[in-house]
């Protein structure tokens, strides 16, 4: 079942400014964090050295400001990235709450990163770091809707075919027949959230689902 929801309510579910969970996601893995630290440190040091070489005028203030900005990049960089992701989601024209069930579940292996290294025989070999992702397909009484994929954790083992699932669906098509975009999803019977990126303010979404309880059940 698809229940239309206004953009005003969507704005209460998907914040314009990144939440803590969204910041953590955008911050990334240790490799990405290291890249941010390198950019922050190099940029901060260079602009600081330039600022101390300037006379105390408007140029000095500008370079000092840029210095602080670079040093804080490790904080505002992820916030900006997540906020842009949230704002881009709201550019869709139509939104609905989806209430359906899990129709299929399967695992896939994704390569997170790869590198070459020399083995004991002096030959180059490719080392791949893989991670198991879980794909959940969703349906309702009208048939197949779409699927959602995310890194698998132990808690996801309890997901079964037939489990009730709810999420926010967006599209530029009023009939939601193609080009669908799904947020993270909630399985109310398991009190479990799944998804790659945490778009939704989850307590607010759960509350809205309860308000629509008569329509969803």
User: pLDDT tens-digit profile of 14-42?
Assistant: 998 888 889 988 888 888 888 888 988 88
At 177-208, the pLDDT tens digits run: 778 899 999 999 999 999 999 999 999 999 88
66 and 154 in a single domain? The answer is no
**Residue finishing a domain among 64, 89, 114:** 89
Q: Which of 89, 113, 143 is at the close of a domain?
A: 89
Q: Are 192 and 34 in contact (CB under 8 A)?
A: no
Q: Note whether 101 and 69 are same-domain residues.
A: no
170 in the same domain as 206: yes
Q: Which residues pair with 167 in a beta bridge?
A: 98, 185
What is residue 128's predicted lDDT score, i.e. its pLDDT? 66
Mean pLDDT by 10-residue block, N- to C-terminus, for the chain (217 residues)?
88 89 86 87 85 72 83 88 90 91 91 72 73 91 87 92 93 85 93 93 90 63
Report how far residue 147's alpha carbon sits from residue 144's, in angstroms, rounded to the nearest whole number: 9
Q: What CA–CA distance (Å, rounded) separates 161 from 134? A: 13
Nearest to 199 by CA among 15, 48, 12: 15
Q: Do residues 146 and 202 share a domain?
A: yes
- Among the candidates 73, 89, 105, a domain finishes at 89
Please indicate, yes or no, whether residues 151 and 103 belong to a single structural domain of this protein. yes
pLDDT for 71 = 86
Number of domains in the chain: 2
- Check if the beta carbon of residue 92 is closer than 8 Å to that of residue 171: yes
Same domain, 127 and 183: yes
pLDDT of residue 57: 66
Sort residue 193 into left (φ over 0), alpha (ψ -120 to 50) or beta.
beta
Tell whether 107 and 184 lie within a shared domain. Answer: yes
Residues 110 and 153 in one domain: yes
Residues 145 and 133 in one domain: yes
118-127 per-residue burial string, b: 16 or more CB within 10 A, e: under 16: eeeeeeeeee
User: Within this chain, do residues 163 and 109 fall inside the same structural domain, yes or no?
Assistant: yes
What pLDDT shows up at residue 214? 61
Same domain, 78 and 98: no
Rama region for 195: left / alpha / beta (φ>0; ψ in -120 to 50; rest): left
| Structural domain boundaries, residue 35 | 24-89
- pTM for the model: 0.78
Same domain, 170 and 131: yes
Dump the DSSP string for the chain: -EEE--HHHHHHHS-SS--HHHHHHHH-SHHHHHHHHHHHHHHHHHHHHHHHTS-SSHHHHHHHHHHHHHHTHHHHHHHHHHHHHHHHHTTSSEEEEEEEEEEEEEEEEEEEEEEEEE-TTS-EEEEEEEEEEEEEEEEETTEEEEEEEEE--GGGGG--TT-EEEEEEEESSTT--SS-EEEEEEETTTTEEE-SS--S-HHHHHHHHHHTHHHH-
Q: In the prediction, which pLDDT does 53 show?
A: 77
């Amino acid at each position: 079942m698809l229940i239309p929801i206004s953009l005003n309510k969507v704005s209460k579910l998907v914040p314009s400014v990144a939440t803590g969970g969204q910041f953590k996601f955008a911050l990334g893995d240790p490799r990405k964090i290291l890249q941010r630290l390198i950019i922050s440190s190099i940029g901060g040091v260079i602009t600081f050295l330039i600022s101390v070489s300037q006379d105390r005028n408007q140029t000095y203030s500008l370079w000092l400001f840029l210095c602080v900005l670079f040093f804080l990049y490790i904080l505002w960089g992820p916030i900006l990235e997540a906020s842009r992701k949230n704002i881009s989601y709201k550019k869709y024209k139509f939104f609905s709450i989806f209430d359906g069930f899990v129709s299929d579940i399967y695992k896939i292996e994704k390569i997170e990163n790869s590198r070459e290294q020399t083995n004991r025989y002096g030959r180059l070999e490719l080392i791949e770091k893989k991670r198991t992702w879980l794909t959940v397909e969703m349906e309702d009484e009208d048939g197949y809707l779409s699927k959602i994929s995310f890194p698998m954790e132990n808690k996801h083992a309890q997901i079964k075919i037939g489990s009730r699932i709810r999420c926010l669906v967006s599209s530029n098509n009023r009939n939601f027949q193609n080009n669908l975009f799904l947020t993270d999803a909630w399985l109310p019977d398991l009190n479990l959230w799944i998804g790659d990126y945490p778009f939704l303010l989850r307590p607010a979404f759960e509350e809205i689902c309860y308000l629509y309880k008569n329509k969803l059940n």
